[in-house]
Amino acid sequence: MDIKQRINCASKKIGNYLEEVSGLRNAGIGYKLGFGLLLVILFPVLLFELLLILLFGKDIGVFVPHEPVLPPQLIEEEVPELLRDLIPLAKKYGVGDDADRDEIMKAASPENLAELEEKVIPKAQKISDWLDTFPETKITDTASFFLYLGSACDEVPLYKSEEET
């Protein structure tokens, strides 16, 4: 880590800490006492971490700058040509959060569930082959839509049986 990177990293951590402290201004008294005490206790840890960064270029990661978490994006060009007809289904049903996918599946009509099975099952092996090209921990957002589309398709019988009862 060069000196510019060290200073940039340290300034982000200080900014993050100051943002947390400034948030106490509008908080209730209980929150101010509890969280304020935590910030006072953590201040020496912040100083120690800043020294490690500035002197040795080592970030121990106690104070992590806020990074925005963006929702996954499906990039159509990343999808193999033979699976592109499934993109609308992947966008609708390829949801990673089980609870959110459950709500989507419950809201789907029997016709929509049948369409899901009819279109995805014949291409399940091709989807699997494509997903197997990614290292286990390096799957892209686009590929994750198809991974969860497979999960949704596997779950269709559960939702069909719910409708029958």
What's the Cα-to-Cα distance from 4 to each of 9, 59, 121, 156, rounded to whole Å?
9, 14, 53, 53
Does an H or E element contain 87, and which? Answer: helix 87-93
pTM: 0.60
**Banded pLDDT at 102 (limits 50, 70, 90):** very high
Q: Where are the domains of the chain?
A: 3-56, 76-164
More confident residue, 19 or 73: 73
Contact 89, 120 (CB under 8 A): yes
pLDDT at 13 over 60: yes
* Residue 49 token pair: 């971490």
Lowest mean pLDDT among 2-6, 86-90, 118-122: 2-6
